[in-house]
Amino acid sequence: MPYLEARDLAYRYGGLGAVENINFALEKGEFLSLLGPSGCGKTTTLKMLAGFLPPSAGEIRLKGNVIANEHRSVVPNKRNMPLIFQSYAIWPHMTVFQNIAYGLRIRKVSRSEARQRVERVMDIVGLANTADRYPHTLSGGQQQRVALARGLVIEPDVLLLDEPLSNLDAALRAEMRAELRRLHDELRMTTVYVTHDQTEALMLSDRIAVLNSGKVEQLGSPRDIYESPATRFVAKFMGNWNCLDATIDASGSVRLPGAPDRTWTVNTGARGAVVLCVPIDGLEICRAETSKGANQSQPMTGIVKTCTYQGDHIEHVVVLDHSDAILRISSPKDSSCPAGTRVKLSVCTNRCVVIPDGWRIEL
């Protein structure tokens, strides 16, 4: 039996469907990220899980019991599923200890037990020796730890987090990502995490649900989502793929529009119109006339539009000849080609993913 389950979950604002047919089933201790752009339905789904919005259709089950459907909804304070916001939402007039202990006080936990639980959680999240400090004396990362500790101290059935790191600077965000991963490995708390940050989702999650326009485009492990996108949207949103409209003929040869003389074979049963997903690091700028190997195609040609330094690599943007296709290429730092350079490109075909045109995964 799943620990937390959403079945055909939907929410509608008037006649507008903000979320439609959301399905997932989590085991106890699993970490699920809801990943997608602004307006895709991530936070609406999280608010239904928390009890702040009643489903328009479908149901939510916790440990086998229905806690929400279109007819009834257990109120938030009876669900034991705290929601941690990106704005921290900690009391400015309370000390760190008082903020963390607030939920226990509401639950009428004895003072001695509350002190033990608060001190334990403060130690776990790295807030030892801050009990008597006030929020305005803390850094952003420390304030986020207070909000996290306040959710953990009540020993929740499910922890819900709504983009909790979005207010932090890049360095602190990376530090807190590592901290959240450590806490999850240590506590194995069942968690649903909302983010639009692909790196966060890949680093933290056991599974990721990629949402688009209120629907799940793909649900899978971080490796599945990153290396085997199921739809064009997932490939584009993850940012590590070039998506090209192509056709595959009866022999299995791939052809790009506008470049019929450039063909290669990929291992797929798909035929006809397809979306060819080429990883940005699966393209190489070729300078030699010779073939680059058995797994690589005949070179395509184009002109470098931009060449930008990215720290650990160079990113080239190339416009293909005889086509309006634009490719992003991640190249080694010592392989810079200035804008305007005519280049040849080879494709590592065994790393390409083929998506039949118009196909959407059904869950």
* Domain residue extents for the chain: 4-227, 232-356
Tokens standing for residue 135? 């929020």
pLDDT at res. 292: 46
- Kindly report, residue by residue over 288-301, the tens digit of the pLDDT: 444 444 444 456 78
> How confident is the model over 177-201, as pLDDT tens digits?
998 999 999 999 999 999 999 999 9
Q: What single-letter DSSP state applies at residue 154?
A: T
- Asked if the domains at 4-227 and 232-356 fall in one CATH topology, the answer is no
Q: Could you write out the DSSP letters of every residue in 230-257?
A: SSHHHHHHHSSEEEEEEEE-TT-EEEET
d(CA 250, CA 193): 44
Give the domain 4-227 fold.
Rossmann fold (3.40.50)
Intervals of the chain under pLDDT 70: 257-264, 266-267, 287-299, 357-363
- Buried b / exposed e over 92-115, threshold 16 CB at 10 Å, is eeebbbbbbbbbbeeeebeeeebe
Token pair listed for 92: 């400015």
SS3 207: strand
Say which CATH architecture domain 232-356 belongs to: Beta Barrel (2.40)
Number of C-beta neighbours around residue 217 at 10 A: 24
| Total-model pTM | 0.88
Query: Strand, coil or helix: what is 346?
Result: strand
